[in-house]
Amino acid sequence: MFEVARLPNVTTQVIPYEAGEYSAMESSFTILEFTAPVESVVYVEGLIGSIYLDRHQDIGRYQLVFEELRSMACDQ
């Protein structure tokens, strides 16, 4: 795992405990972006299973949550 973290195209960010509760705390998600003509997809994994979301409004919502999480992460 640490070898992957050293790659130039990988960024590791940590949300400090002091940040408290935040969106997506009870599940994890991955935004899968592809080149055209394939559309983006969000893979969501939670306690009751996993789903793929491909509606534009769902992808947009998860992109906003991702940006929120990035802004909460510690500076390097």
pLDDT at 1: 62
Name the DSSP letter for residue 39: P
What CA–CA distance (Å, rounded) separates 3 from 49? 30
What CA–CA distance (Å, rounded) separates 36 from 17? 39
What tens digit of pLDDT does each residue of 3-58 get? 888 899 988 888 888 888 887 788 899 999 999 899 999 999 988 899 999 999 99
Confidence of residue 2 (pLDDT cuts 50, 70, 90): confident
For the chain, the structural domain boundaries read 2-72
Does the pTM surpass 0.85? The reply is: no
Check pLDDT > 80 for residue 76: no
Name the residue with tokens 């509606």.
Answer: 55
What CA–CA distance (Å, rounded) separates 66 from 15? 12
Check pLDDT > 90 for residue 67: yes
Segments in the chain forming alpha helices (H)? 2-5, 56-72
